[in-house]
Structure 1
Amino acid sequence: MQHQHLNQFSNVVAIGGGHGLGRVLSALDFLGNRLTGIVATTDNGGSTGRLRAQQDCIAWGDLRNCLSQLAFRPSVGSQLFEYRFKGQTELSGHTLGNLMLLALDELCVRPLDAINLIRGMLKIEPQIIPMSEQPTHLVALGHDGEVVIGEVSVDEMTIPPVGLELEPLVRATTEASNAIKCADLILLGPGSFLTSIMPPLLVPEIANALAETKAQVIFIDNLIPESSPAGKWPIEDRMNWCHRAIGRNVINKVICHHEQVRLSSIINYFPLKHQQFPRLHDPVLLVDAISAVLRINTDITSIAS
């Protein structure tokens, strides 16, 4: 029964990055090829940052994370994909998945081809699409005119920025724009707001597609306030940032964590924490919450008609 209201959708799109998007995609993987993840590609930390600096490639880390969370487990393929090199060599700290994606990218015509080859190897049905196939950095503008470049530095800001942009400004992957145009349900978050959720919304073609959507749009909040500057903002402020980037108010519902269910016209609270891993959304509870707010919308639509 928990899948009933989600199975009515033919094209579900989830937008974000990091572990949060992977968690949502893995919770909804029963949708198969009706599910698409559009992934932020501005990360510049860790193994991904080193590869970007040396190879001028897109950020592979969040893409790898989403693929890994969707991979059938346990399998040799999924274990290899997440293997991280140890020791004191040049490979130390790199994940094999990042290196595989980079190598396949150099062999293929485009990064999306490399991702699709990995999807085939790991038997992943949902689509995984980078927000852009061109390298770009996240740039934050401070109150005093300060310019902060790179995701890692943006997350370390002590005072929230007044604006964000991409440098250089890149075009969206065509498949990402088309997925949003065809979507009947769109999910934003959870994840680091400034560095996972906002970057795709800064790509003009993605913002325009969202501005024109007739899909239901649900924002999924983090379980606990993040340590970045956005962690100090109420949910209404974060919604406003999304809407300014998109150019129109599109978010219909917000799902937040609370130990007891509390429903309202926009912001709805549900128990979402995993019992064993309290910093993670429980996939079953997350699906239940999404289904519940969709059921509310359906009931309201039925009454109105």
Structure 2
Amino acid sequence: MTPKPSGTSQAETPRIVVIGGGTGLSVMLRGLKQKALDITAVVTVADDGGSSGILREELQMPPPGDIRNVITALADAEPLLADMLSYRFNNGTGLAGHSLGNLILAAMTDISGDFVTGIRELSRVLAVRGRVLPAANQAILLKAEMADGSIVVGESSIPKAGVAIKRVFIEPEHVEPLPEAIEAIQQADAILMGPGSLYTSIIPNLLVPKLADAILKSNAVKIFVCNVMTQPGETDNYSVTDHVDAVHAHIGHQLFDYVIVNDGEIPAQVHQMYAEQGSTAVHLDMDEVARRSYQVIADNLVLFRTYLRHDAAKLSNHIYQLVVDWKKRKG
């Protein structure tokens, strides 16, 4: 559980549910776990590529990769242990390509007899600050209808199709969400989505019917953290408005109260590096976002080391202040 400052009771600690998957979510959670927040991460189970895809297929279990990343991000563990969980084998027949953390999660699932219990036990061992829950206790198959009418099957195949995405959908269509995830949403003071792959990490969670319904009915403040850069094959040339409009189109409702965006300058050499990969800065069309009645928080939120990432400390400061202010207004 997240440490509480002196004098802060469990009842007073704001409850936040973070929904998504991928690297962006993990970066943000590393900042949020330093705050006095009761965190529940609800993570996509649509991954079908790499080590996760192999374990999903061979062991008939939900894909562990995004879950493992989130556990590592929230763990109160030595850096060496985090590195060990992320370690990917380069050699070995049947072992090459697997990350150690994925294999540990697979083992915990087998030992406990249940994926959710395996996650809970591994989280306990690693002193995770908060709860990590899969969106459902089974793997979800993600499909996409493309702009040319073709259907692409599989989360890992969708960005490689070379055609713009019209919509994504899941099988089974009426998958049941995890009851603990619904309960966390119902009790939340804030619900947070992004950053991450829009169509393959964020929206798939909202396609779990009862999960989307619970979010819509919630009185929590709902926040969208927009990506800094576009994702090739997924959000090419997208603006901030394109991101929130895609969420709206999939669930039929305007979901968010606040949109957090980067308005900091990205160095020319970084632009060039990403352009070579087919990625550009997400266009900040502030007027269009405001016209849709979203409240916008814009700040210089980027850090560049090897890759461009959100500044976890700055981002978590904005989120924490929003949540605390909202909780005070609610009384």
| TM-score (normalizing by structure 2) | 0.81
Structure 2, unaligned runs of 5 or more: 266-285
Once the two structures are superposed, the pairs formed by residues 1-305 of structure 1 within 5 Å of their partners are 10-31=14-35, 34-75=38-79, 77-169=81-173, 170-259=175-264, 266-276=295-305, 279-291=308-320
Per-residue deviation, residues 219-251 of structure 1 (Å, max 9, x unmatched)? 001121222332333222321222333343220
Question: Which deviates further from its counterpart, 181-190 or 225-234?
Answer: 225-234
Counterpart AA for 1:66:
V
Question: Which deviates further from its counterpart, 30-39 or 246-255?
Answer: 30-39
In the alignment, the residues of structure 1 paired with residue 253 and residue 304 of structure 2 have an alpha-carbon distance, to the nearest angstrom, of: 37
The 1:235/1:33 distance shift into structure 2, 3 A limit, reads closer
Superposition deviation, residue 135 in structure 1: 1.5
Counterpart AA for 1:100:
I
Contact 1:9 1:184 in 2 (8 A): no
The 1:63/1:247 distance shift into structure 2, 3 A limit, reads same
Alpha-carbon RMSD: 2.8
Contact 2:144 2:158 in 1 (8 A): yes
Per-residue deviation, residues 185-218 of structure 1 (Å, max 9, x unmatched)? 0111000100111110000111110110111111
Contact 1:155 1:194 in 2 (8 A): no
The 1:100/1:150 distance shift into structure 2, 3 A limit, reads same
Contact 1:21 1:37 in 2 (8 A): no
Of all paired residues, the percent bearing the same amino acid is 30
Per-residue deviation, residues 257-298 of structure 1 (Å, max 9, x unmatched)? 1128x9966233111112535511111111233245558878
Question: Which deviates further from its counterpart, 215-224 or 106-115?
Answer: 106-115
Secondary structure of the structure 2 residue equivalent to 1:195: helix
In the alignment, the residues of structure 2 paired with residue 297 and residue 72 of structure 1 have an alpha-carbon distance, to the nearest angstrom, of: 28
Question: Which deviates further from its counterpart, 158-167 or 74-83?
Answer: 74-83
Question: Which deviates further from its counterpart, 204-213 or 242-251?
Answer: 242-251
The 1:217/1:272 distance shift into structure 2, 3 A limit, reads same
